[in-house]
Structure 1
Amino acid sequence: MKTTLFLGLVTLTITQSMNLILNFCSKKSFYDREKNSPFECGFDPKNLARLPFSLQFFLVALIFVIFDVELVLLLPTISVIKICNLLSFSFTLNMFLIILILGLFHEQNQGSLNWVN
């Protein structure tokens, strides 16, 4: 048992040492500034990092996430329809949809859904 453990440990050590040596030997020796700079589609990384961010875009994205999570909570109710009482199921589903629609109307009245003010 100890011999097998020792042999496995030695094999692991040799393998990892060879891996480190080959890793250092295979690296390219030149430094390229363009390849080491971060790439973001549509942005020049050499200009200012602080670009103006549209607050309206942030609000629409936040509203989308909130309503998307509510719809994800709504989807599992379809599988429960067979085991629930139809009256309680329809009441719960209607209340959930009413709250969802009231939230949408509230956001419309606040002007959060208008992309151009």
Structure 2
Amino acid sequence: MKALTWHGKGDIRCDQVADPTIEDDRDVIIKVTCCAICGSDLHLMNGYMPTMKSGDVLGHETMGEVVEVGSGHSKFRKGDRIVVPFNISCGECWFCQKGLFSLCDRSNPNAKQAAEV
């Protein structure tokens, strides 16, 4: 598939990359039909995220069609049309249950590393 990829400060390219795979049983894979650029993408473009590696795929505000669903997911089904907002949350942790979705405990698999930075 085609994706925007980061190759260094100010070096963003449209590259051919591997199709995504289910990594967690709660994952959902969508075929993107529309996307947007977020202000946080500018931080990535300008090299403000020290964990970025050449070839990392950018983008997190999309809409599209569900094409694959992890075995632990019951909310979405193949063929559903969905919109993915800038803040991705699990909807189940303590913060999400209190409506504090941007503080989700489960949405960032690298949270400890980010906290150290």
In terms of Rg, which structure is larger?
A: 1
Q: TM-score by structure 2 length?
A: 0.17
Q: 1 or 2, which has the higher helix percentage?
A: 1
> Larger RCO: Structure 1 or Structure 2 (Cα < 8 Å, ≥ 6 residues apart)?
1
